[in-house]
Amino acid sequence: MAFLETNSTTAPYRKRCEDRVAVIQLPERTVIVVADGAGGVGYGEMAAQAVVDEVQREHARIHSADQWVELLHQIDCRISLGESTAVVVDARPYGIAGASVGDSEAWIVRGESIVKLTQNQKRKPLLGSGTATAIPFMHAPLDGLLLVATDGFCNYIDQYQFRRIMAEADFWSISRQCVEMVRLASGELWDDVGIVAARVKPRHQSRRRISL
């Protein structure tokens, strides 16, 4: 049984969402991938789906941040149509490793603080350009709420509102609440949104049976 629990959501800006998310759950490992297809160059959703497909196909052989960087560089050359961002977070009980390209982000939220795992990433060029630069990241074991999201959330969220709502949010509704936080009064979104929330599974105390 996986040591993390997750929930995820994608929401379209127009009729079709070009963001893709996927979660690979293994007993001692959870791999999260988020990809945002670039709408301006065409075929964005195909590029984003290619990123997700490649990560799902290759994850078993990858065990370090540098190896994730190498895979993203390979994906950059393999994508034949369109361009996409990518964030891959590989969480294990002893730590987190991953890599990113573009402006999708990965955050660890602990109370009032936000640690941005992807703060050093290169926003351009994107995967599919043939010249993308993937940046690795590493972190200690997860000790808060992990959010991995596309720029439709990260670029438009009000940080104060986010912290306030996260303090009281039910975990299983977090990804949907995050979408609602960036929705306009008209009901529309600024951009497509893809988001995955994750946390370490709470340990439930076993109830003792008392014999009378």
Contact 85, 151 (CB under 8 A): yes
Q: Taking residues 111-126, what's their average pLDDT?
A: 94
DSSP 126: P
In angstroms, what is the C-alpha Rg of the chain?
17
Q: Say if residues 141 and 192 touch (Cβ distance below 8 Å).
A: no
**CB atoms closer than 10 angstroms to residue 68:** 28
CA distance 122 to 112: 26
CATH class of 4-200: alpha beta
pLDDT tens digits for range 22-48:
999 999 999 999 999 997 667 999 999
Grouping H, G, I as helix, E, B as strand and the rest as coil, residue 122 is coil
Q: Round the average pLDDT of the chain to a whole number and report it.
A: 92
DSSP character string of 19-34: EEEEEEEETTEEEEEE
> Residues 42-101: pLDDT tens digits?
799 999 999 999 999 999 999 999 999 999 999 999 999 999 999 999 999 999 999 999
Question: Domain map of the chain by residue range?
Answer: 4-200
Look up the pTM and report it. 0.92
Cβ–Cβ under 8 Å, residues 171 and 55? no
